[in-house]
A and B are shown apart, each in its own frame.
Chain A
Amino acid sequence: MRQRSLIAITAALSAGALTLTACGSRDSDDKGSDSGGTTVTIGIDAPLTGDLSALGLGIKNSVDLAAKTANKQKYVDGVTFKIEALDDQAQPSSGQQNATKLVADKSVLGVVGPLNSSVAESMQKVFDDAKLVEVSPANTNPALTQGTDWANSKKRVYNSYFRTATTDAIQGPFAAQYLINDAKKKKVFVIDDKKTYGAGLAGTFTEEFKKLGGTVAGTEHINPDSKDFSAIATKVKNSGADVVYYGGEYPQAGPLSKQIKAAGAKIPVVGGDGIYSADFIKLAGATATGDLATSVGAPVEELASAKEFVANYKTEGYKEAYEAYGGYSYDSAWAIIEAVKKVVDDNDGKLPDDARAKVTAAMQNVSFDGVTGKVSFDEFGDATNKQLTVYAVENGAWKPVKSGTYSG
């Protein structure tokens, strides 16, 4: 009996060993680390710590997923992709240091990031001087691609800068149109955080709101380092505004919304993609119901390609959510992968000596069906796919209420 048991155990273990062998082979392919050839690094710059880390870690994980997917598919023959993620803590000075560090690493042929437009301003020249391509999944300030006088005369400043997110030149007016035409709001109190993104977005919103016949009941600027907005909340209450527009990000927008409601102004707080985060709802509390945010892109559930991304993200077991920019980050990384592929294919399967310049040049003509739809870039480096969605807080979560497509 004992012998039979031993035989059975032996057989089972043998079968198990063979099964494990098969799994082991597949794991090896997944990592793509043993395929040999050239290793290309995709740099990442985002806030990986601090108040905005939820968005930053979603960016990092999504780029990691794109690199793993390319390696698994052996998408670029002879090239294995890896990532190098640096933390900018949402600070322009840190972003510039990171840009210098990524430029110094010759294996880096493209960078995804940053999150903040103010950080991007500090990085663009560093990358452009090195002809190192940068694709931001989240920057929305129009000046980054179209120059500081973009409203009157568009002029591209940096040929190495691209983005997959649409701009505040569309996002601000889109919010204004929704508030006037759909939500029937007429009197807005505008607040911003004085930063490149927040002030810019508040500006494009306000201009369109007034053009549509709305009035501005008051304007204020907050200190992003503060969490006490009670004085501003009182001003909002006394202004008689029927809506608040906030140009800024969720770490401040959440407490601001909470304190405005606590002051007695039961009116919605509206913002851009910078407040479209689950963390906004956590910070704003139960009174956030009815608050609104516009964000770039169509709702994930409308995009078949996004579903695959969501499923693969889950399979990889990332601890943090992909958040607002996950799909755009994946597409940004994949745009770099496509550009590298083009350069390698055009050079007999090898990377040329001037790979960075060639990858930057190839980026202009990249076109593929990505997570967020068709990915390609116009003459300024802006995404040609310009979709936006208005979300409302309902039952403790963001729910899409209206989407639009820019086709101008």
Chain B
Amino acid sequence: MSGVGPVEPGEGTHAWDAPDAGRTTAAGVGPTGPADAVDAVDAVAPTPAARLFHGLVRHRGAHRRAVSAALAAAFLLAGGGYLWATRPHEAQQAAPAPPFPSQVVDVSYLGEAAVPPDAPPRTFAFDMVLGVESGPPVTVTRLTQPYAGLSLTSAPRAPFRTKAGSVRKVVITMRVTECGKVPKNAGLPFLDVTLRNARAIQAHSFILGSRYAHDLSEAVQVACSNESGHHQNT
């Protein structure tokens, strides 16, 4: 049901019923105003022609008022419709902002990687994959890890740019510089990556999971064992 609700009658806006003998008014409150006047004439009209004339007069008056009301309503609706149609559209005015880079970049751990034979002692490497899901290109401006006794370099070296819909392999090479300042068995180690796109620059941590944690711990333990002094993962 979409029915139009009744408009509460205001003063003088009651329907003007055709005169008939049986017409009654609620609670004895009769209509007032012009309708009464016409009805009064009508009631005393002597002939059918006269009644017809009065009927026409009444009909014309009612018709004129109805037409005027309809025109006014149409005018209001047309005006309202124009305003509605020409209202500001936010979507049209402002293109959606690009996503924050941390929301479209994914970094995953692939596995251990070989290090060059001439790499310094206590060096090991891991393969990562970095992907950009959507939005403008994302530049990695910095790539690091949080432990004081560990240095990190990457290939490609930062900064490097990746377009949406593409992935790139990143080789992380780490070297233990001070065994006492590297945890031997961190449960959830992460990489800190600074990302930049057209929207923002963000420092974001990528927690690479238990397999990375295991491989990193093992590499650190080997690097810091008594026999160590040479690179791992060869």
Interface-located stretch among B42-50, B117-125, B209-217: B209-217
**Cα distance A105–B72 in the bound complex, in angstroms:** 54
Residue of A whose beta carbon sits closest to that of B71: A11
**Chain B residues with CB under 8 A of A404:** 190, 204-207
Main secondary structure of the interface of A (DSSP, over half): helix
Which residues of chain A (367-390) have a CB below 8 Å from chain B? 373, 386
A314 CB to closest chain B CB, in angstroms? 15
Task: Confirm or deny: B76 has a beta carbon within 8 angstroms of a beta carbon on chain A.
Answer: yes
Sorting the interface of chain B by its residue count into under 10, 10 to 19, 20 to 34 or 35 or more gives: 35 or more
Given contacts A303-B103, A373-B103, contact A25 B76 (CB under 8 A): no
Picked from A21, A173, A207, A407, the residue with its CB within 8 Å of the CB of B5 is A21
Picked from B5, B102, B211, the residue with its CB within 8 Å of the CB of A20 is B5
**B34 and A3 form a contact (CB under 8 A):** yes
**A13 and B13 form a contact (CB under 8 A):** yes
A149 CB to closest chain B CB, in angstroms? 15
**B65 and A208 form a contact (CB under 8 A):** no
Which residues of chain A (180-196) have a CB below 8 Å from chain B? 180-182
**B68 and A7 form a contact (CB under 8 A):** yes
**B69 and A174 form a contact (CB under 8 A):** no
Which residues of chain B (185-215) have a CB below 8 Å from chain A? 185-190, 202-213
**A304 and B4 form a contact (CB under 8 A):** no
Given contacts A3-B65, A14-B69, contact A170 B207 (CB under 8 A): yes
Task: Confirm or deny: A238 has a beta carbon within 8 angstroms of a beta carbon on chain B.
Answer: no
**A212 and B103 form a contact (CB under 8 A):** no
Task: Confirm or deny: B137 has a beta carbon within 8 angstroms of a beta carbon on chain A.
Answer: no
Q: Mark B92-130, 1 if CB is under 8 A from A, else 0.
A: 000011011011001111000000000000000000000
**A16 and B203 form a contact (CB under 8 A):** no
**B96 and A304 form a contact (CB under 8 A):** yes
Most buried by A among B76, B80, B99: B76
Q: Mark B66-83, 1 if CB is under 8 A from A, else 0.
A: 001111110111001000
Most buried by A among B3, B71, B102, B210: B102
B200 CB to closest chain A CB, in angstroms? 8
**B4 and A17 form a contact (CB under 8 A):** yes
**Cα distance A10–B68 in the bound complex, in angstroms:** 10
Which residues of chain B (138-193) have a CB below 8 Å from chain A? 146-147, 183-190
**B7 and A207 form a contact (CB under 8 A):** no
**A182 and B146 form a contact (CB under 8 A):** yes
**Cα distance A6–B10 in the bound complex, in angstroms:** 9
Picked from A18, A20, A21, A407, the residue with its CB within 8 Å of the CB of B108 is A407
**B76 and A212 form a contact (CB under 8 A):** no
Given contacts A21-B2, A408-B208, A408-B210, contact A181 B68 (CB under 8 A): no
**Chain B residues with CB under 8 A of A28:** 2
Picked from B65, B75, B96, B108, the residue with its CB within 8 Å of the CB of A7 is B65
**A9 and B65 form a contact (CB under 8 A):** no
**Chain B residues with CB under 8 A of A25:** 2
**Chain A residues with CB under 8 A of B211:** 408
Q: Mark B1-20, 1 if CB is under 8 A from A, else 0.
A: 01111010011110000000
**B4 and A18 form a contact (CB under 8 A):** yes
Task: Confirm or deny: A262 has a beta carbon within 8 angstroms of a beta carbon on chain B.
Answer: no
**Chain A residues with CB under 8 A of B202:** 403
Residue of B whose beta carbon sits closest to that of A10: B69
Task: Confirm or deny: A8 has a beta carbon within 8 angstroms of a beta carbon on chain B.
Answer: yes
**Cα distance A101–B100 in the bound complex, in angstroms:** 43
Given contacts A404-B205, A405-B206, contact A211 B72 (CB under 8 A): no
**Chain B residues with CB under 8 A of A12:** 72, 76
Which residues of chain A (303-343) have a CB below 8 Å from chain B? 303-304
Picked from A3, A8, A170, A182, the residue with its CB within 8 Å of the CB of B72 is A8
B126 CB to closest chain A CB, in angstroms? 13
**A18 and B69 form a contact (CB under 8 A):** no
**Chain B residues with CB under 8 A of A215:** none
Given contacts A20-B5, A407-B107, A408-B212, contact A11 B102 (CB under 8 A): no
**B103 and A298 form a contact (CB under 8 A):** yes
B76 CB to closest chain A CB, in angstroms? 4
**A212 and B183 form a contact (CB under 8 A):** yes
B2 CB to closest chain A CB, in angstroms? 5
Picked from B12, B80, B203, the residue with its CB within 8 Å of the CB of A15 is B80
**Chain A residues with CB under 8 A of B109:** 407-408
**A211 and B73 form a contact (CB under 8 A):** no
**Chain B residues with CB under 8 A of A13:** 7, 10, 13
**A403 and B65 form a contact (CB under 8 A):** no
**Cα distance A7–B106 in the bound complex, in angstroms:** 67
**B187 and A208 form a contact (CB under 8 A):** yes
A119 CB to closest chain B CB, in angstroms? 27
Q: Besides A10-B72, A405-B106, 4 other CB < 8 A contacts?
A: A15-B77, A182-B146, A212-B186, A403-B205
A-B complex: 7 closest residue pairs judged by Cβ atoms: A408-B209, A11-B72, A404-B205, A181-B146, A15-B76, A173-B188, A14-B73
Q: Which residues of A are in contact with B by a Cβ distance under 8 Å?
A: 2-3, 6-21, 24-25, 28, 170, 173-174, 177, 180-182, 207-208, 211-213, 298, 302-304, 373, 386, 402-408
